Amino acid sequence: MNAGARDGAELKFRDPGRARELSAALGRLVQSLGRAPVTLMHVCGTHEQAIARYGLRAGLPPALRVIMGPGCPVCVTDLCEVDEGVALALQGVRIATYGDMVKLPGSSKSLADAQAEGAQVEVVYSATQAVELARASDRPLVFFASGFETTAVATAAIVLAQPPANFSVLSAHKYVPPAMEAVARLPEARVEGFLAAGHAAVITGYGLFEDFAHRHRTPVVVAGFEPLDILAALVKLLEMIRDGDHGVANAYPRCVTRQGNRRAQEALWRVFQAVDGPWRGIGVIPDGNLQMREEWAALDARQRFHIDVSGLKQAAQSQLLRRCLCGKIMVGLVEPTDCPLFGRECLPDSPVGACMVSSEGTCKIWYQYGGRPDLGGTT
Amino acid sequence: MNKIGDTVAQKHGAGGPAMRALIERVFVVGLGEAGAGLAAMDDGAAIPVGDRFLVLTTDSYVIKPLFFPGGDIGRLAISGTINDLAMMGATEPVGLTCAVIIEAGFPIVDLERIRDSMRATCTEAGATIATGDTKVMGKGELDGLVINTAGVAFASRVVPDSGLRCGDRIIVTGSVGDHGFAVIAARHKLQLEGALASDVAPLNGLVRAALAVGGDGICAMKDPTRGGLASALHEMAAKGQVGIVLDEASLPVRSEVRAASELLGIDPLHVANEGKAVIGVRPEAAERVLRALQSHALGREAAIIGTCVAERPGSVILDTGFGRRLLAEPEGELLPRIC
């Protein structure tokens, strides 16, 4: 009920006293580096959620910048991919997708707009639920699947489990490690260390980042999602920077191993292959998209349907969209409050850029939780 | 500023800024003098009659599913109107009206079940239904059943939702998020572990107990229904021109609600409660009112959750124990996140 009755695990990773000790350690470490600002990047909307949700930024030393990279799968879903989903929906095909995808703007329409025009768009909470919907009727159903490694494995699992004949997948799945490469190559980003997403690393294993950390001479720490997980991982990352350690540390050992989940990896790569593809606002990421392999053509909506997106394209990009800074925000070059549209023309209710749509998007999170507010520490 | 658009959308009924914008632009402005009292946008209207006030309120109820863990649309329709009266300080209902609009094909047995539930809730609240109306619409013209209830009561002092001042304490009368998560879980057939159940209940008895000991020390009340505790506090902060600092550690949230909220990515402060009140009290009355609430069956888990401050009028600041952040109002329909 109240704090007293919460379970032990939660208390262990949500202890404000321990958090204050870790924040103090962060302050000492940043000072010992003798330069400001020190920029660390995480690549996961769930991390940004937790940082904002618990008000952690208010307690970070001012010289430490913790920014969010391309870590929101909905935000990086390309206009063309949304157009494909919208076109299928308007062609009369029933679409099942995750809640966040519904409001995401395409070239001229979102799935919510298609729904208002009479298209059938169902919100599902899991890939399995999409299959259940397909089983409940004979009509074709397309699961418009998005997300990184974590949800891609769930999609792979249902593809391998012989779904009904009326079921197919429109994959907008993306793969995070290549996007980290892209950001690390941007000289202006000046990211000194990365926090890797704990849930994705449960699948891929932390060993995956060793080559990356070594090549870019940038340490990587795998982090969980409780407030103390994040603070402890930041402390570890600063220690590694101080010591010139360009390796990988696992700050989420209760869930993550070096090898990861082999069975999940096998399922993922049996169904998908990594191909070059556009990420909204960022550009083409080599090997960044997860495409279904030829073997699964019968379950691939792109192979099964003729998807005509020509009617959705607009000749000129809207004036508003041209001023949108989502791309720069997603690679950590600017903060949401630097965008002229943020909180004015671009609102959660009427998003211009993709970062304002999803609860994992940087702008939406900043809008909801007040960004980096000067509200003082805890009382 | 919220744009209202050309057509009414789902978000205009979600209890947040979009709904307030719709009411302000269309009804409050459009009804002019004929809409006296509407501009306060409180839970109900208070009409002076002699040295007392006649408090009047009306509300329509639609909910999917009609029967949910902890209650049904009948209990909701009675409790909602009793609670709107109670939030104005009117805890002795003189009478209720009840209008039902039913879709052809609706099972009589369900209608009887809903009627029984309404009767039981009236008994609990010491209220009677004085008059009613029944309409039937064609199949597909309506989704099952809509109930409208209105209520009348006298109050010697009206408690507005605008009365907060700096230093006032904020009390919530029990755990938050119970109704919203019970309904979300039932609506989407989420097989969540644990006993999620709606808190729907008439609160006039509980509020009467608080007013008896708190008197003028009770300065603002609101029931955190649609839009949840977050919307209720935002509205109270804006109308009272104060900031509200919430202490997250003292917020009562059941562990099953917390679990469901973390799973779905929906904040317990953003979903509806149907058996809770937010009460603003002067600091010297806070402990007294809290004890009175806690000794009532519906207020055992009541807690002081926040304080009003001069900084950032209209904002709600959440102290998480790790730092402070703004508490946002929910926007539009609540959709679960992806991972």
pLDDT averaged over 10-residue windows placed end to end, chain B, 339 residues: 71 78 84 68 84 93 93 97 96 96 97 97 97 94 95 93 96 97 86 83 98 96 94 95 96 93 88 97 98 98 97 93 87 56
Q: How many domains does chain A have?
A: 1
The reply to whether B161 falls in a domain is no
| Residue B269: how many other CB atoms lie within 10 Å | 28
| Lookup: tokens for A337 | 């409050």
- Mean pLDDT of the region A123-132: 93
CA distance linking residue B215 with residue B213, whole number of Å: 6
Residue B128 backbone dihedrals phi, psi, to 5 degrees = -130, 150
Do residue A359 and residue B319 have CB atoms under 8 angstroms apart? no
Q: Are residues B320 and B179 both part of a single domain?
A: yes
Angle at A199 between CA A370 and CA A67, to 5 degrees: 35
In a domain, A107, yes or no: yes
Of A58, A350, A358, the CB nearest to B324: A58
Which of B25, B41, B57 is the C-terminal boundary of a domain? B41
More reliable by pLDDT, A264 or A334:
A264
Two tokens at A265? 């990896």
Q: What is the pLDDT of residue A8?
A: 46
Q: Quick one: B177 and B320 in the same domain?
A: yes
Considering the domain architecture, whether residues B66 and B34 belong to the same structural domain is answered as no
* pLDDT given for residue A2 in this prediction: 41
Q: Give me the pLDDT at residue B188, please.
A: 78
Nearest to A378 among B3, B323, B326 (CB): B323
Is A180 part of a structural domain of the chain?
no
B169 to chain A, closest Cα gap in Å: 16
What local confidence, expressed as pLDDT, does residue A377 receive?
A: 45
Mean pLDDT of A86-101: 95
Both tokens assigned to A324? 């949108």
Nearest to A22 by CA among A234, A251, A196, A250: A234
pLDDT grade, residue A373 (50/70/90)?
A: low
Domain range for A95 is: 79-175+262-312
pLDDT of residue B53: 92
The pLDDT of residue B333: 62
The reply to whether B31 and B58 lie within a common domain is no
Is there a contact between B244 and B309 (Cβ–Cβ < 8 Å)?
yes
Summarised one tens digit per residue, pLDDT across range A337-362 is: 899 999 888 988 788 888 988 878 88
d(CA A311, CA A308): 7
Closest CA to B304 of B159, B166, B174, B177: B174
| Helix A227-243 and helix A16-33, axial crossing angle in degrees, nearest 10 | 20
Instruction: Pick the residue from chain B with its C-alpha nearest to A231.
Output: B322
Is the same domain home to B48 and B139? yes
Residue with tokens 């409208």: B148
With H, G, I as helix, E, B as strand and everything else as coil, classify residue A59.
helix
In a domain, A213, yes or no: no
B315 shares its domain with B193: yes
| A143 interfacial to chain B (CB closer than 8 Å) | no
Backbone angles phi, psi at A230, to 5 degrees: -70, -45
**Structural domain total, chain B:** 3
Structural domain of B70: 43-155
Q: Are residues B174 and B322 in the same domain?
A: yes
Q: Do residue B270 and residue B125 come from a single domain?
A: no
CA angle B329, A51, B230 (to 5 degrees): 15
Give the per-residue pLDDT at A4. 38
Q: Is A2 within 8 Å of B250 when comparing Cβ atoms?
A: yes
Decide which of B121, B155, B189 is a domain's last residue: B155
Query: Which of these three, B132, B155, B178, is where a domain ends?
Result: B155
From A350, which residue of chain B is nearest by alpha-carbon distance? Answer: B3
Handedness of CA A336, A108, A126, B183 (dihedral sign): positive
The alpha-carbon radius of gyration of chain A (Å, integer) is 21
- In this prediction, residue A294 has a pLDDT band, given cuts at 50, 70 and 90, of very high
Residue B307: what are its φ and ψ, rounded to 5°? -135, 145
Q: Does any domain span residue A218?
A: no
Nearest CA in chain A to B328: A368
**When comparing pLDDT for A233 and A106, which is higher?**
A233
* Weakest-pLDDT range from A140-149, A185-194, A222-231, A234-243: A185-194
Residue A224 covered by a domain: no
Q: Residue A36 pLDDT more than 90?
A: no
Q: What is the CATH number of the domain that holds A135?
A: 3.40.50.11740
- Is position A117 within any domain? yes
Based on the domain organization, do B110 and B220 belong to the same domain?
no
Which chain B residue has its CA at the smallest distance from A358's CA? B337
C-alpha distances (whole Å) from B65 to each of A109, A132, A322, B148, B202 are 31, 20, 44, 17, 20
Higher pLDDT, A324 or A142: A142
Residues in chain B: 339
Q: Does A319 touch chain B (CB under 8 A)?
A: no
Q: Quick one: pLDDT at residue B335?
A: 56
| Same domain membership, residue B286 and residue B250 | yes
Does any CB of chain B come closer than 8 Å to the CB of residue A224?
no
Rounded alpha-carbon distances, angstroms, from residue A348 to A343, B20, B326: 9, 16, 16
For a pLDDT cut of 90, what percent of chain A falls above it? 65
Residue B295 has a pLDDT of 98
State the complex-level ipTM: 0.71
Residues 6+ apart with CB under 8 A from B36: none
Whether residues B63 and B16 fall in one domain: no
Q: Are residues B273 and B299 in the same domain?
A: yes
Other CB atoms within a 10 A radius of the CB of residue A108 amount to: 15
- What confidence tens digit (pLDDT) does each residue in A161-205 have? 999 999 999 999 999 999 999 889 887 878 999 999 999 999 999
- Residue B162 within any structural domain of the chain: no
**What is residue A155's predicted lDDT score, i.e. its pLDDT?**
98
Confidence band of A49 (pLDDT split at 50, 70, 90): confident
The answer to the question of residue A138 being in a domain is yes
Is B334 contained in some domain? no
